Chain A
Amino acid sequence: MKLRYTRLAPAYLTFIIIFIPLYPYKANAVAFEDDEACLMCHKYIRMARITEEGVFRSYYVPPETFAKTVHRNVPCRDCHDYIKQLPHRKVEEGVRCDQECHSKKNPATGKPFSHKAIYNLYAESVHSREKNATGLDNDKPYCITCHTNPVYNPNEVEPPKEILDRCELCHEKRGFVKQWYFHTSRRVLDVKRTGQEVVKICIRCHANQDLIERHKNAADEEGRPLGDKFTIAATSYQKSFHGKVTRYGLAGAATCLDCHADNSQYYEGVHKILPSRNPESPVSQKNRVKTCQRCHEYADEKYAAVDPHPSFNKEFNPILHNAEYIYSIVGEVIVAALLGLALFETIGRRRDGIAWRLRKGSTWWRRSHRSRSRVIPY
């Protein structure tokens, strides 16, 4: 019997299905040094637990993802310096972002690198809190609330070959050159968050009604001041013109940081958000005009009185609330009256014999119910 190759198709298919998954793919090389062997445990995806409060906590560190973050070259224990033994004990402290963490010296100061300078600015801001804060302070953002460490720079996929070739001539190691390129390009290129991203981060807390209620009640009980617009800050912004066009992705429309952060040094300003009652705040009475003038060239004291958080709420803006109510009522009455008129007119004319369409020179070819039909039969 002659064997036909086509009859072997099921056999080929079975072979492919069984053996292809077993093909030894090349594992992704870990781009960062794991000299302390932390990944020995933390590379496992199910490395997690459920806390006493019932919260699921994952301790999985995806090596490929971490290798793309800005901290890829920082040894784990530079930040997690409370780890003294392996396996380590239960972690109570957590990582503070102001500690001197990097083993390599800061070339500008000769000291170990640290985020202390920016951390100190944050500590002066209205958002300031301790790492392991409890109570109301626990609602405030810590560094990692905003710095979720996303890969912002698409150029990190692969640096231009010409640049690598050139740098490699003196710096010899291509890997070092590549890392240095990533490090500098991330900072040189415009990698600020978009307006949509900024607002998204802010409203995570400022649109949280439970959080707002907690803080408002506490402030009322303690008799301490809270921002006038604290309870409607996010919702009113999102309904404002600035908020709407920002949601549509328009670059250049004012976001939260454009007004509430001191933009004379943007990166300092966004970390040192101050309450409006603080005279240093860009939205304080003293600085408001200057802040408005950043976008609105001719802004003056009168303009600075315009509400950037318009609300139709009776409590915040009774005039706008009533104006909207009147507008709605008038609009509904007008539309209802006009539709009523159209219906009344239609019924009246139809009774007198008008048809919908003009045919053979006339629209009055129907029989009139008022005894005045067309003389010329249709």
Chain B
Amino acid sequence: MKLSEQASNVLHDSMRRNSTTDDEREDILSLIEKLPDDRVYLYKNVISNPIGDLPRYSIHIRLQHLLTFTTFLLLAFTGLPVYFIDAFWAQPFSHMLGGIDVTRVIHRTLASIMIFSMLYHIVTIVGGTVHKIVTGKFDLRRTVIPTMKDLRDIKEDMLYFSGHRMQRPEMDKFMYKQKIHYFAAAFGNFVMIFSGSAFLFPDIWAGILPDGWAFYFQNIMRLAHSHEALLALVVIAFWHWYNVHLAPGRFPMQWTFLTGKITREHQIEEHFLEYLRNIVELPEERKFLNTLLSLIDLGKPEPQVIGNDSVPLGEGQRP
């Protein structure tokens, strides 16, 4: 495979940061050389474990996701019946949850847990970033921070979907969709906490704000709390769940949020630059690719019958 300039940069940068030995470097480069030029043949022919092959999320991120989504859904279930009080389902649903005396306590308790989850996340990413900087492993491209490349990726991806490009763009650990979703969720979280505090402490907020602001502040916060919650719920229900549960290749669900691992084919298809780092960091991944390439010729795009039940492609992973 002839790597693009950015892919080559990522690969060499990763080898430098991981202090790869000369032997390993030679091994990696020869492996890359053997990969098919058309990346599509690679991710269409690798063998993936549904619950994940390659590391993606730490236990901290998984815990934060778990805390955030459980609290978010329950907050929505206890809050939306108040906003939609005239809807046919609202009052029976609220009554089923124990009535307003119970749901208001649940709502506030869960809000506290959600705030804790947010703080936990901030501590994790700040601490993790500091650690990576100290150990010399920090790479901005590997973070969720948006870059100009993301705009180019969006354009290239649209061209691929419409049939005007043969390959999807080479995207990093976090692709544009994930960055949009992450910052939308972070913004939504901030708005919900901020506006929720306006509901809970309206008099204190009025005391803090400059003269004449309290009226507009309360109006906007009351509006924002309900609309932001509704928007978040709709986006989660229709987009996020579609992407991680219902989209082709992800059905019935991506296990990443539980196992912290991503499937090999998914990593190559949507996070190719991160896959190159995986090749550098994970000797077992190099071994897998070498075995696969010894069995089939991915540069020859025609059906090939290969292997048998004894071919050691990986535990429980056979073509």
Spell out A's residues near B (CB within 8 Å): 241, 244-245, 247-250, 292, 296-300, 302-303, 305-307, 310, 317, 319-320, 323-324, 327-328, 331, 334-335, 338-339, 341-342, 344-358, 360-364, 368, 370, 372-377
Classify the secondary structure of B's interface with A.
Answer: helix
Q: Which 5 A-B pairs give the minimum distances between C-beta atoms? A: A348-B161, A303-B206, A361-B47, A248-B100, A296-B203
Complex interface residues of chain B between 193 and 234 (CB less than 8 A to chain A): 199, 202-204, 206-207, 209, 211-216, 218-220, 222-224, 227, 230-231, 234
Q: How far is the CB of A255 from chain B (nearest CB, A)?
A: 14
Chain B interface extent, by class: 35 or more
> Considering the chains assembled together, what is the distance between the CA atoms of A252 and B176 in angstroms?
48
User: Is B138's CB within 8 Å of the partner chain A?
Assistant: no
- Which of B211, B234, B298, B306 makes the CB contact (< 8 A) with A331? B234
A-B contact count (CB 8 A): 190
Q: How far is the CB of A80 from chain B (nearest CB, A)?
A: 43
Q: How far is the CB of A313 from chain B (nearest CB, A)?
A: 13
> Considering the chains assembled together, what is the distance between the CA atoms of A347 and B157 in angstroms?
13
A375 touches B304 (CB 8 A): yes
A364 touches B99 (CB 8 A): no
A327 touches B223 (CB 8 A): yes
CB-CB under 8 A from A328, the residues of chain B are 227
A302 touches B223 (CB 8 A): no
Asked if A248 meets B248 with Cβ closer than 8 Å, knowing A302-B209, A338-B239, A375-B41, the reply is no
User: Is B308's CB within 8 Å of the partner chain A?
Assistant: no
A306 touches B202 (CB 8 A): yes
A302 touches B206 (CB 8 A): yes
A375 touches B318 (CB 8 A): no
Q: How far is the CB of B11 from chain A (nearest CB, A)?
A: 24
> Considering the chains assembled together, what is the distance between the CA atoms of A364 and B296 in angstroms?
16
Q: How far is the CB of B88 from chain A (nearest CB, A)?
A: 15
Q: How far is the CB of B284 from chain A (nearest CB, A)?
A: 16
CB-CB under 8 A from B4, the residues of chain A are none
User: Is B40's CB within 8 Å of the partner chain A?
Assistant: yes
- Which of B82, B222, B235, B242 makes the CB contact (< 8 A) with A334? B235
A327 touches B45 (CB 8 A): no
The chain B residue sitting closest to A246, CB to CB, is B100
B161 touches A349 (CB 8 A): yes
> Considering the chains assembled together, what is the distance between the CA atoms of A21 and B5 in angstroms?
100
A376 touches B235 (CB 8 A): no
Asked if A307 meets B219 with Cβ closer than 8 Å, knowing A300-B206, A335-B235, A342-B239, the reply is yes
A245 touches B252 (CB 8 A): no
B304 touches A376 (CB 8 A): yes
> Considering the chains assembled together, what is the distance between the CA atoms of A302 and B209 in angstroms?
8
B219 touches A317 (CB 8 A): yes
Asked if A351 meets B163 with Cβ closer than 8 Å, knowing A319-B216, A360-B318, the reply is yes
User: Is B44's CB within 8 Å of the partner chain A?
Assistant: yes
User: Is B23's CB within 8 Å of the partner chain A?
Assistant: no
CB-CB under 8 A from A357, the residues of chain B are 251-252
> Considering the chains assembled together, what is the distance between the CA atoms of A336 and B247 in angstroms?
17
B40 touches A354 (CB 8 A): no
B214 touches A342 (CB 8 A): no
The chain B residue sitting closest to A251, CB to CB, is B101
Q: How far is the CB of A335 from chain B (nearest CB, A)?
A: 5
> Considering the chains assembled together, what is the distance between the CA atoms of A303 and B91 in angstroms?
31
Known A-B contacts: A300-B207, A335-B234, A361-B49. Give 4 more (CB < 8 A). A248-B100, A339-B239, A362-B46, A363-B249
A356 touches B206 (CB 8 A): no
CB-CB under 8 A from B73, the residues of chain A are none
> Considering the chains assembled together, what is the distance between the CA atoms of A247 and B91 in angstroms?
10
Q: How far is the CB of A94 from chain B (nearest CB, A)?
A: 38
A349 touches B249 (CB 8 A): yes
> Considering the chains assembled together, what is the distance between the CA atoms of A370 and B164 in angstroms?
11
> Considering the chains assembled together, what is the distance between the CA atoms of A181 and B303 in angstroms?
96
A310 touches B231 (CB 8 A): no
> Considering the chains assembled together, what is the distance between the CA atoms of A345 and B222 in angstroms?
36
